[in-house]
Amino acid sequence: MNMNGKVVSLDIKAISNGFADELSKDLLTSWEASKGHLLDDLCYALPKLVLLDPANADGNSPDILYCGEEALAAKIMGREWADNAETAAAAFDRDYRELVGRQYTIAHNTQRPAYDLVTTPFKLKTHKIDLVYERLILPVSTKAGANIIACYSFSSNRYIQQFHQESIDEFRVDQRPQNTSHADPFASV
Please state the domain extents for the chain. Answer: 6-38+45-175
Helices (H) and strands (E) in the chain, counts: 7, 6
pLDDT for 17 equals: 87
* Whole-structure pTM value: 0.78
Q: Please, what is the average pLDDT of the chain? A: 76
pLDDT for 155 equals: 84
> What mean pLDDT do residues 92-121 have?
85
pLDDT for 170 equals: 43
Percent of the chain topping pLDDT 70 = 69
pLDDT for 169 equals: 40
> What mean pLDDT do residues 75-103 have?
73
Which pLDDT band, with edges at 50, 70 and 90, does 89 fall under? low
pLDDT for 125 equals: 65
3-state helix, strand, coil in the chain (%, to 5): 40, 25, 30
> What mean pLDDT do residues 137-142 have?
92
Does domain 6-38+45-175 fall under CATH 3.30.450.20? My reply is yes
pLDDT for 28 equals: 94
pLDDT for 135 equals: 94
**Long-range Cβ contact pairs of 107-113 (< 8 A, separation 24 or more):** 107/137, 107/138, 107/139, 107/149, 108/54, 108/57, 108/62, 108/139, 108/147, 108/149, 110/139, 111/36, 111/139, 112/12, 112/139, 113/12, 113/28, 113/31, 113/137, 113/138, 113/139
The pLDDT of residue 103 is above 80: yes
Q: What does the pLDDT look like over 169-189, one tens digit per residue? A: 443 333 344 443 444 444 444
